[in-house]
Amino acid sequence: MLKHCPALRFATGARRLVRHAVAGCPRDSTMFISIQDLELRELAFREEFRPGLIDLGPDLEQQVPLKAAGRAVLLEEQHGGRGRIQDIRLVGEYSTRIQTRCARCLEAVEHKLASEFDLLFRPQGVDYRADEVSISEAETEIGYYRGEGLQLEDVLKEQLLLAVPVKTLCREDCKGLCPTCGCNWNTEPCACAPPIADVRWAALEDFKKKLES
């Protein structure tokens, strides 16, 4: 909830809710949240983005439509003696399913991602001072936009990338791949000779065994 502050207020104009897509119909184009539109009204959205529309990079694959719903509000903030600046507050939730690869055996691993977000975007280049904004950083995450607004897809992409674990394992005891023949040790053994241990790490291995015993 926004706290009262005379330096921060909703932009003037009718706060009419607008839906940009029909639920259940995946979007094939991007959605731009513009300052010009937000000056007239609060924008509500309920979107579905088909797999492949948002580029998640070579290591992630979207399996089902990305569903996102929420609202965007324009906030006017008194910025010292330099007049007002326009912030965008984006509040909503998303859900989808992402596939990545196990860090050891490279097998596919699926992640069900679903979360809420409460984000504040300020014009890029504006100096930030915590005492000028009535919304604390504990309540929102602060980012920056350039030009006349921001793409909803860019916001969702960042949220997805932050939600996926840095290191993914298919299971905790994954044995990985044979470095010689590439055999998946989780499914079958191989006839390759075991790797020769580096004597420089022997002391650390002994120390590790003592800690585990």
Calpha distance 23→29 (Å, rounded): 15
122: burial class by Cβ within 10 Å (0-12, 13-18, 19+)?
buried
Closest of 61, 90, 54, 59 to residue 74, by C-alpha: 90
Calpha distance 71→41 (Å, rounded): 11
Model pTM score: 0.71
Residue 208: enclosing H or E segment and its boundaries?
Answer: helix 202-212
Q: Which residue has the tokens 């998303």?
A: 94
What 3-state class would DSSP assign to 141?
strand
pLDDT in tens, 69-98: 999 999 987 766 667 889 999 999 999 999
pLDDT in tens, 136-169: 544 557 899 988 999 999 999 999 999 999 899 9
Calpha distance 90→120 (Å, rounded): 6
Q: Which residue has the tokens 């910025």?
A: 79
